[in-house]
Amino acid sequence: MTVSSDQELMLTERANHLVRQARLAAAVFTQYSQEKVDKIVRAMTAAAIENAGKMALLAHQETRMGVTEDKILKNLVASEFLYHQIKDKRTVGITREFPDLNMVEVAEPMGVIFALAPVTNPTSTVIFKSICCAKTRNTVIFSAHLMAAESSNFAAKIMYEAALEAGAPKGFITWVDKSSRLRRTSELLMHHPEVDLIFATGGQAMVKAAYSSGKPALGVGPGNTPVYVHKSANVASAAMDIIISKTFDNGTECPSEQTLVIDREISDEIIAEFKRLGCHVCSQEEVQKISALIVDPRNGGINYKLVGQPANLIADQAGLNITTPIKMLLCPLLGELRHHPLAIEKLMPVLGYVIVDSVNEGINKALDINYAGGTGHTAGIFCEDDNVIERYSEAINAGRIIVNSPASIGGLGGVYNHLNTTLSFGCGTGGGNITTDNVGIKNLINFKRVPRRRNYVISFQTTKNIYINPGSIDHLRNLKCQSAFIITSRSASRRGHLAMVTERLPQDCHVDVFADMGPEPDFATLQRVVESMRRSKPDTVIALGGGSVLDAAKIIRLFYDYPDLKISEVAVNFLDFHHRMIEFPKDMKTQLVAIPTTSGTGSEVTPFAVLKDGHRKISLIDECMLPDIAIIDANLTRSLPADITGDTAFDALTHALEALVSTFSSDYTDGLALEALRLIFESLPETLKNPNSIVHRHKLHNAATLAGMAIANASVGVNHALAHALGARFDIPHGRANAAFLLSTIEYNAQIPSKFVSVPCYPLWIADRKYARAAQFIGLKDDLQPGESEEIGRRRLVQKLRQAIYDLAKLANQALSVAELGIPLESYMAAIPELTETAFGDMSIRTNPRYALAPEVAQLFATAYPPRERPSI
Amino acid sequence: MAEPVKERKLEKIRILGDLERGLDEVDKKLARGNTDIEFDFSACPFISVDGLEWLEEFLLRADSLKSTVTFVNVQNPVYKVFKVAHIDSLMRACGAPNQESQGLSC
């Protein structure tokens, strides 16, 4: 074995030992309560405060950088200020509750953290990271900079002993001993499989190595802080803050000012103030000398030997003849700023400045500095004008933009502002990091979100005023209306309904009529009606007719009231009403009175309107579409032909059945759907037998409205999706198209779904039970035989329901298959892919109790073609 | 003549309270040989690093003595410690297969 491999083995063993200690401690730490953790954090903070001076002195002696007094302050910020911010924060168990969202966050420690400490802040970084790790129940292995390892490890030892004394797990803090092999040990640890996170604060080489390790890493980026001094600034205060900041620890803090951008109006005043307070403003010759000293001409970087050195030492080494003590060297950066050698990060009391003539120029110059190696880090502004601060913040890419305070101490957080106290400045993607945070405890916790199932609120909406019973059309006599616009069809006019309406409207009411609304009009037709309404300026729209007329009137009113609406913007599909992207107007200006003359659509009480668009139907859905008044007068259906009576009754029947099993059904809609179903089974045969029986017409009319209320709130299902597609493609009336699929879709929905629907308001698939209940509600019975399961009984009831529907359809001469609608087999089969696509995109399908997969939809189309036989039990 | 096979004994040890250090009595029982050990953790709410290290070492010794050690009724917090500690022998004593499977990450 060679010497080098012996050494490597030894280093690997050392790394394994450190990680094992940390791993066991991390495991044990998971059991700690918040109280135990807080006790440890308190003890560590007290130890850091007590030893702040000793640690600072050692750091200064070892690194020869910065100012001992400032290092003491940093140690105190990293302990006392940090403690103040985190002491009451919950980091164990439930850390946050979101009652409105029905969710909590629970903390999970990250585990073993490998942490780097930089030469510029060797003790404060260790204090900060140790306390943060304790608070978050993580364990930490420190690797210090070789030039600062003694002081860093001394700080780690103090923190560990205090923690152990307070009950922390053995091995909670460990560190890599100072040796010439420190860097290699660090590399081994970075790649060690038992290290969970690398917390890298230090030089770019180490940060890059951390990111390259393939482990999660919290890194920092390089800084180059521009500070804009706007003409509105308090000049004297700004000058003092800048001196405080730039001289803090002799400029070793990476958020500190690097180049000032000063408005010309105040430039003389602030430069004079800097001079008065003990700064030296360099001539151009001196700037060149300083550049030559502190900038490495080979790579444009700084001379690291001068990091954290006092201004007089730098001046001496640059050959400047300065005999008095000075605080910092101010260098005017003339010429092209983007090429100036001093337009870089200078971690020493050397500060560049430029003078600008406008806010625009000022922000652009600040951007030049910001983007010269400091993106994502820190920027500053001295300004009393909020608009300028906002413009600056919008433009500059920095994780922290410090306003009217020293950038360095301001960036540390907690002293001049309410930023999180940190010694690790996230720089976002601008600096190659994942966060722009002042990195702290929240970055060291795996937050587990525990969302409870949503309480799904379902509302119930219907038309506000519903007038029922035969003769209720008389309500029109009391209608508050000065100008009415009646939308109706030719047949309604022919059957005398239009006259029944006009005769009853108040004498002084101006009336205009559009009596040519055909079945399933397109949008262009509706737009023409809107145009004629604009000429007559009605305050009331009266919709008199079947579903097409009522739906058309809803859309016409919408576009009459809101002419700027676009159909393409309101007819957007959605998955969930509560989350849909479209917004409808809140209030309608024109009153809508809906008077159905058929007993099927239920449109008088629904917020839907269906519109034909080529070979498909589109739906507009919103509460604002609900009519204001519905008049349910069966006298208007007395002259309805038998075929239309049957078609529309089967539309209502489909509504009731689909609303009943819908994923959005509720006790409210179930009651309506079941009663509608019962009324249809009771009154349709009687109506067909005796078409002039107003009693039965009335029941049928009520059934349609009740079913309408049910679908208004529970919506429909796959049957409607199929019917919409078929109707649009082959011009089949809606009720007839619905009936053609009804037996198939009941059978389909009553089977255990191949795929369940994922909606929170439908926690249990119960479609088969609902159909069985419907069967019982219309008086069908089933007696379980001994040994039979309830499921078998349910299946029989579903079949009995299908039989009853079959029998009712035969009585009403309703087609129960596509073939019976007269559609040729070849053209139908050829259209199935298109029909499937249309049906699959139909919103009706979204509330079906079974997730209808595209091949299943195609299969439903295919099996609906052949004429049907009575379902067998 | 073959030596008579000694009957193996199963010792059931109920850990009462926090496991903060090694249990000498149990060490002695194991050392006597021919003994399998069952640790009942139902009354053990907490385990320290020392306790964890002792268990790991105990399992090593048991293995060399061909004794079987099993953990039963391990409470959630302690079982989580075993999980986070990533020590195979502890998990085996809890009935896990030799190595945790490397699941897909997604």
Q: Does A431 reside within a domain?
A: no
Q: Do A27 and B46 touch (CB under 8 A)?
A: no
Task: Decide if A743 contacts A719 (C-beta within 8 A).
Answer: no
Task: Give residue A455's pLDDT.
Answer: 78
Q: How far is A750 from chain B (nearest CA, A)?
A: 37
Question: Which chain B residues are closer than 8 Å to A111 by Cβ?
Answer: 84
Task: Give residue A5's pLDDT.
Answer: 85
Nearest chain A residue (CA) to B83: A27
pLDDT at A4 over 80: no
A163 and A242 housed in the same domain: no
Nearest chain A residue (CA) to B53: A24
Q: How many residue pairs bridge chain A and chain B with CB atoms within 8 Å of each other? A: 40
A835 and A779 housed in the same domain: yes
Domain boundary among A165, A200, A218: A218
Q: Does A666 reside within a domain?
A: yes
A613 and A669 housed in the same domain: no
**Given A254, A279, A331, A427, which residue is catalytic?**
A254
A427 has catalytic annotation: no
What is the dihedral sign for C-alpha A138, A143, A147, A153? Answer: positive
Average confidence (pLDDT) over A385-414: 97
Q: What percent of chain A has pLDDT over 90?
A: 88
Q: Indicate the residue of B48, B50, B84 with minimum beta-carbon distance to A30.
A: B84
A100 and A144 housed in the same domain: yes
Q: Does A448 reside within a domain?
A: no
Q: How far is A135 from chain B (nearest CA, A)?
A: 18
A762 and A838 housed in the same domain: yes
Q: How many CB atoms are located within 10 Å of the residue A64 CB?
A: 12
Q: Indicate the residue of A30, A170, A194 with minimum beta-carbon distance to B50.
A: A170
CA dist A330 and A340 (Å) reads: 15
Q: Which residue type is seen at A134?
A: A
Q: Indicate the residue of B81, B83, B86 with minimum beta-carbon distance to A28.
A: B81
Task: Give residue B5's pLDDT.
Answer: 64
Q: Do A31 and B46 touch (CB under 8 A)?
A: yes
Q: Indicate the residue of A28, A111, A194 with minimum beta-carbon distance to B49.
A: A28
**Residues A773-808: pLDDT tens digits?**
999 999 999 988 899 999 999 999 999 999 999 999
Nearest chain B residue (CA) to A171: B49
Q: Does A436 reside within a domain?
A: no
**Residues A684-697: pLDDT tens digits?**
999 999 999 999 99
Q: Does A454 reside within a domain?
A: no
pLDDT at A75 over 70: yes
Task: Give residue B1's pLDDT.
Answer: 54
Q: Do B81 and A25 touch (CB under 8 A)?
A: no
A623 and A727 housed in the same domain: no
Q: Which residue type is seen at A814?
A: Q
**Residues A11-42: pLDDT tens digits?**
999 999 999 999 999 999 999 999 999 999 99
**Residues A621-657: pLDDT tens digits?**
999 999 999 999 999 999 999 999 999 999 999 999 9
pLDDT at B101 over 60: no
A47 and A112 housed in the same domain: yes
A759 and A680 housed in the same domain: yes
pLDDT at A567 over 90: no
Q: Indicate the residue of A25, A30, A194 with minimum beta-carbon distance to B49.
A: A25
A648 and A631 housed in the same domain: no
Task: Give residue A1's pLDDT.
Answer: 43
Nearest chain A residue (CA) to B47: A28
The domain in which residue A467 lies consists of: 462-637
Q: Could you say which residues from 99 to 138 on chain A have a Cβ atom under 8 Å away from some Cβ of chain B? A: 111
pLDDT at A180 over 60: yes
* CATH code, domain carrying A306: 3.40.309.10
Q: Indicate the residue of A24, A111, A194 with minimum beta-carbon distance to B49.
A: A24
Q: How far is B2 from chain A (nearest CA, A)?
A: 46
The number of folded domains in chain A is: 4
Choose, out of A20, A29, A31, A164, the residue to mutate when testing the contact with B (most B CBs < 10 Å): A31
Task: Give residue B103's pLDDT.
Answer: 44
Q: DSSP per residue over A751-800, as a string?
A: SPPSSB---TT--S--HHHHHHHHHHHTT----PPTT--HHHHHHHHHHH
* CATH code, domain carrying A112: 3.40.605.10
pLDDT at A576 over 80: no
pLDDT band at A203 (very low <50, low <70, confident <90, very high): confident
Beta strands in A153-245 (DSSP E): 173-175, 197-199, 217-218, 225-229
User: Which one has a higher pLDDT value, B96 or A683?
Assistant: A683
Task: Decide if A570 contacts A621 (C-beta within 8 A).
Answer: no
Beta strands in chain B (DSSP E): 9-14, 35-40, 69-72
Average confidence (pLDDT) over A843-850: 94
Task: Give residue A407's pLDDT.
Answer: 97
CA dist A258 and A344 (Å) reads: 7
Task: Give residue A592's pLDDT.
Answer: 98
**Residues A124-168: pLDDT tens digits?**
999 999 999 999 999 999 999 999 999 999 999 999 999 999 999
pLDDT at A828 over 90: yes
pLDDT at A818 over 50: yes
Task: Give residue B6's pLDDT.
Answer: 67
Task: Give residue A207's pLDDT.
Answer: 82
Task: Give residue A163's pLDDT.
Answer: 98
Q: Does A59 reside within a domain?
A: yes
pLDDT at B106 over 60: no
Choose, out of B57, B86, B94, B105, the residue to mutate when testing the contact with A (most A CBs < 10 Å): B86
Nearest chain A residue (CA) to B56: A24
Of the candidates A517, A526, A511, A614, which has an alpha carbon nearest to the alpha carbon of residue A567?
Answer: A526
Q: Does A441 reside within a domain?
A: no
CATH 3.30.750.24 applies to domain B9-93: yes
User: Which one has a higher pLDDT value, B100 or A724?
Assistant: A724
Average confidence (pLDDT) over A291-313: 92
User: Which one has a higher pLDDT value, B103 or A487?
Assistant: A487
A179 and A302 housed in the same domain: no
Average confidence (pLDDT) over A215-220: 90
Q: Do A30 and B78 touch (CB under 8 A)?
A: no
Question: Which chain A residues are closer than 8 Å to B49 by Cβ?
Answer: 24-25, 28, 169-171
- Prediction ipTM score: 0.91
Q: How far is A116 from chain B (nearest CA, A)?
A: 23
A537 and A593 housed in the same domain: yes
A572 and A652 housed in the same domain: no
pTM of the full predicted structure? 0.86
Q: Do B52 and A23 touch (CB under 8 A)?
A: no
Beta strands in A160-301 (DSSP E): 173-175, 197-199, 217-218, 225-229, 257-263, 280-281
Task: Give residue B2's pLDDT.
Answer: 60
CA dist A767 and B14 (Å) reads: 53
Task: Give residue A833's pLDDT.
Answer: 97
pLDDT at A46 over 70: yes
Task: Give residue A594's pLDDT.
Answer: 98
Task: Decide if A379 contacts A401 (C-beta within 8 A).
Answer: yes
The chain B residues in contact with chain A (CB within 8 A) are 46-50, 52-53, 77-78, 80-86
Domain boundary among A609, A637, A665: A637
Domain boundary among A167, A189, A218: A218
